Amino acid sequence: MKTALITGASSGIGKELARIHASKGGNLILVARRTEALEALKEELESTYKVQVSTFTQDLTQLHAAKKVYDFVNHSGLEVDYLMNNAGFGGHGNFVDRPLEKDLEMIQLNVTALVELTHLFLQDMKARGHGKILNTASTAGFLPGPLQATYFATKAFVVSFTEGLSYELRNAGVTVTALCPGPVKTEFEHVAGLEGGNMFDKGASAYKTAKSGYDGMMKGKVIQISEFSLSLLIRVFLPIIPLKWLSAVVEKMQTVPKK
């Protein structure tokens, strides 16, 4: 029975990743800031499936947060077979007009915590000769991101980091996968301040997205774009579209009506 640690498990894609893993009989360690939401999910999963779920409340933007998660796992006598670095948030607006602290927090969560957790748990996985890592990136990682420049850049980091790392680990028995969804209907839209636009109207479901990521991770894929149409767009059309045009399209998509 494999144990998965999922960050950002209190809502959206992370919550669905937890449900999928539990439905396969896997144990879980759930991490996020909202204790009540984590406890409610623990209760749901333990009463539905024969699994053991641990929860750890942690703001991953805090200094030494990743080490605290790692220490919790070790002190609890647990071993992480699958690490799912999923917690993340976006933020709308021109970079220069946004509070810098918010963007630094975003980098801390979307990039630094992901790198720290990966480094800590990967050492154990490598020593054991097996393990899987799933990083929730985004199709934003392949695009310029006017009106969400920092967010898109954090996801470009996650894509690149995953690609490099997966090659380094090709003979280690450990795989690393980047899940790259387009718009998904979760709390992300509200948290990012993107409500009022129409980008999420036809967004994918959190379940479908999580299923795609989970399956990609199990197969050891490096890049898992969660929808075929987006995959086609990114792999075939993106390389031939001029940067200026692409930036204009993305900016339009990120524009929300003034309140």
Interface with ligand NAP (CB under 6 A): 7-14, 32-34, 37, 59-61, 86-90, 109, 136, 138, 181, 183-184, 186-188, 191, 203, 206
**Closer residue to ligand NAP (CB): 62 or 126:** 62
**Closer residue to ligand NAP (CB): 183 or 197:** 183
The catalytic site residues sit at 151
**Closer residue to ligand NAP (CB): 39 or 59:** 59
Q: How far is the CB of 154 from ligand NAP (least distance, A)?
A: 8
Specify which residues 176 forms β-bridges with: 133
Residue 182 CB burial class (10 angstroms; 0-12, 13-18, ≥19): buried
CB 9 within 8 A of CB 15: yes
DSSP state of 141: G
DSSP 33-52: S-HHHHHHHHHHHHHHSS--
Q: Residue 18 in 3-state DSSP?
A: helix
**Closer residue to ligand NAP (CB): 11 or 52:** 11
Q: How far is the CB of 109 from ligand NAP (least distance, A)?
A: 5
> What letter represents residue 162's amino acid?
T
> CB 115: neighbour CB atoms within 10 A?
16
Distance CA 109, CA 101 (A): 12
Q: At which residue do the structure tokens 């999928």 appear?
A: 20
Q: How far is the CB of 170 from ligand NAP (least distance, A)?
A: 25
Q: How far is the CB of 36 from ligand NAP (least distance, A)?
A: 9
Name the token pair of 158: 């996650």
